[in-house]
Amino acid sequence: MTEKILLKLQNVTPYKIPPPEITEETNNQTDRILKQRYKALSWRDSPENKFSAVELVIKEIQSENGSSLCMEMKGKLNGITWYEPIHNIFDWRDHQFYTINKVGPKSFVSVLDYYDAKRDRHVNIALGLVMNTLKDELNLNDVLVSFDKRVQNRIMRQKVNLNDQYGDYGNNQ
């Protein structure tokens, strides 16, 4: 597994956040669509949920041997996201942020892989992130957009390879 540093943000304020609201929509009476909505503005209402400003390093993780990253990271990613206080984190640079999603102006949600000594295992904890400078917000937006484009291009290349290999794969979708 290789890690590539995409961006270092100098002044980010992390918050402990509540779980998102989940709304359900139906499409054509058959498909259920679940949407998550974070209330980013409410994070700032509770000062006890605020951590001190930190430096945040954004990394892209790639598989070295072409296998699934989920299999390589099995010990770290367990599919559970906790929404609770984080105690005894002294050095934020030692922790890995796996996903970052924009949820409002200057506001992002990130999932942090954290070793919980009480449970003796790694858990994923959701954090609200507020960019304190416009420069950091713009830089993070640029990184997320370019990452999405690279992922889409990678998927299209795989689809073309499958079409070449197996015929008309996926064109009916």
The model's pLDDT over 75-117, given as tens digits with 9 standing for 90+, comes to 444 445 655 555 544 444 444 556 777 888 888 888 776 666 7
The tens digit of pLDDT for each residue in 24-83 reads: 776 666 666 667 777 877 777 777 888 777 777 777 776 666 555 544 554 444 445 655
- 141 found inside a domain: no
In a domain, 161, yes or no: no
Burial 50-77 (b: 16+ CB within 10 A, else e): eeeebebbbeeeeeeeeeeeeeebeebb
Token code pair at residue 7: 């961006």
In this structure, is residue 103 part of a structural domain? yes
Can you name the residues that pair with 112 across neighbouring β-strands? 97, 125
Please report whether residue 51 resides in a domain.
Answer: yes
Tell whether 91 is covered by a domain.
Answer: yes
Q: Answer yes or no: is 163 within a domain.
A: no
- Residue range(s) defining the domain that contains residue 43: 2-131
Q: Could you give the number of structural domains in the chain?
A: 1
Give the pTM.
0.59
Is residue 126 in a domain?
Answer: yes
Question: Three-state SS for 164?
Answer: helix
User: For residue 75, is it within any domain?
Assistant: yes
